[in-house]
């Protein structure tokens, strides 16, 4: 099977550095070559700091793809879906490049980030830098276990990676990112039972909550894939924040871009009977962008053209 980038199916880490960049010149040949060198930076640190479980991922924005790689376009790579209903929205912030650096050491994430930025400095401007961290035993800052339902083992690849039947884009993955900002003061004013109703799971063990309803997050976001029991996207986001604002940097990886769109639509617009995702009353998306993370071979081959 064509080798995907390691960050797509990575196991959970303690730290993340998410970088969003725009390309400011039209020297796409140089950018193609430098992206292949970013892969070398990831490899170097992976080997040098074996214990840190380093993984990296480069993803190219929907609007920039054709400029960087003229010719073939991944069939389902389209701009981030603009959705708005009452006070719920999914704002769009298109970006040319998304780089995800993950490791169990913050210093290594930082060191890789600095090297990548230096390499791309002449061609890009930094739009956003987010530091993700593992919170407690893998929870979102709202206190609920996050991404517990992520598929495991080979199922991760089935869900997140395009198979070899697509000759051009095998090993690639459709990536969606959104920066959510939580209103934790409001959230914490709810009783635990109300919180479980909103999320649709129990807080302690992530079991289906007896309080679950059609407007619970888990029900609205549910989009089961292969075998009925796992969602059809792999979540790679992590909590972020400082003393002023905090939330979840949402990242999803999938073999198709459809599940994310369908889930987001169901959360924002609901089921037509007023049942939208109540979790959106306590968190708001502030950015959103769509990318494609090609296979390692694709990035290397294109760097030679």
What residue ranges bind ligand HEM (CB under 6 A)?
140, 142, 144-149, 178, 180, 199, 201, 206, 217-218, 221-224, 231, 248, 250, 260, 263-264, 283
Long-range contacts from 76-82, C-beta under 8 angstroms, 24+ separation = 76/174, 76/256, 76/257, 76/258, 77/174, 77/257, 77/290, 77/292, 78/257, 78/290, 79/290, 80/176, 80/288, 80/289, 80/290, 81/261, 81/264, 81/265
39 or 253: whose CB is closer to ligand HEM? 253
Tokens of 47: 């080997």
Which residues does 44 contact at the CB level (< 8 Å), separation at least 6?
Answer: none
Distance in angstroms (rounded) separating the CA atoms of residues 305 and 292: 19
CB of 100 to ligand HEM, least distance (A): 17
64 or 279: whose CB is closer to ligand HEM? 279
Strands 55-61 and 173-182: unpaired
CB of 174 to ligand HEM, least distance (A): 12
76 or 149: whose CB is closer to ligand HEM? 149
CB of 58 to ligand HEM, least distance (A): 22
38 or 263: whose CB is closer to ligand HEM? 263
CB of 65 to ligand HEM, least distance (A): 22
**Rg for the chain, CA atoms, rounded:** 19
Which residues does 73 contact at the CB level (< 8 Å), separation at least 6?
Answer: 65, 66
Distance in angstroms (rounded) separating the CA atoms of residues 84 and 160: 27
CB of 235 to ligand HEM, least distance (A): 6
171 or 231: whose CB is closer to ligand HEM? 231
94 or 247: whose CB is closer to ligand HEM? 247
12 or 36: whose CB is closer to ligand HEM? 12
Buried b (16+ CB within 10 A) or exposed e, 190-205: eeeeebbbbbbbbbee
Strand partners, 132: 16, 240
Residue identified by tokens 């999803």 is 252
Query: Phi and psi of 179, rounded to 5°?
Result: -95, 115
CB of 237 to ligand HEM, least distance (A): 8
CB of 49 to ligand HEM, least distance (A): 29
22 or 203: whose CB is closer to ligand HEM? 203
CB of 273 to ligand HEM, least distance (A): 19
Strand partners, 173: 293
């Amino acid at each position: 099977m064509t080798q995907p980038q390691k960050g797509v199916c990575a196991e959970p880490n303690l730290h993340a550095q998410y970088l969003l960049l725009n390309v400011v010149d039209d020297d796409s040949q140089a950018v193609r070559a430098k992206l292949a060198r970013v892969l070398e930076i990831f490899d170097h640190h992976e080997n040098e700091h074996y214990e840190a479980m380093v993984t990296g991922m480069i993803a190219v924005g929907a609007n920039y793809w054709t400029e960087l790689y003229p010719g073939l376009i991944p069939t389902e790579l389209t701009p981030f879906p603009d959705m708005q209903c009452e006070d719920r929205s999914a704002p769009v912030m298109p970006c040319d490049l998304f780089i995800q650096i993950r490791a169990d050491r913050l210093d290594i994430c930082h060191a890789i980030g600095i090297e990548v930025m230096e390499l791309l400095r002449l061609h890009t401007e930094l739009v956003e830098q987010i530091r993700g961290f593992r919170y407690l035993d893998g929870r979102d800052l709202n206190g609920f276990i996050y991404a517990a339902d992520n598929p495991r083992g080979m199922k991760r690849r089935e869900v997140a990676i395009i198979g070899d039947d697509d000759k051009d884009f095998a090993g690639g993955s459709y990536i969606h990112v959104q920066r959510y900002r939580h209103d934790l003061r409001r959230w914490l004013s709810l009783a635990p039972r109300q919180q479980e109703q909103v999320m649709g799971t129990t807080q302690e063990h992530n079991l289906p909550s007896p309080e679950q309803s059609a407007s619970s997050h888990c029900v609205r976001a549910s989009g089961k894939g292969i075998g009925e029991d796992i969602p059809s996207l792999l979540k790679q986001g992590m909590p972020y924040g400082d003393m002023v604002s905090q939330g979840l940097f949402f990242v999803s990886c999938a073999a198709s871009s459809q599940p994310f769109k369908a889930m987001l639509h169901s959360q924002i617009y609901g089921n037509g009977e007023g049942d939208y995702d109540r979790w959106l009353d306590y968190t708001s998306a502030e950015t959103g962008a769509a990318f494609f993370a090609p296979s390692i071979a694709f990035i290397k081959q294109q760097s030679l053209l």
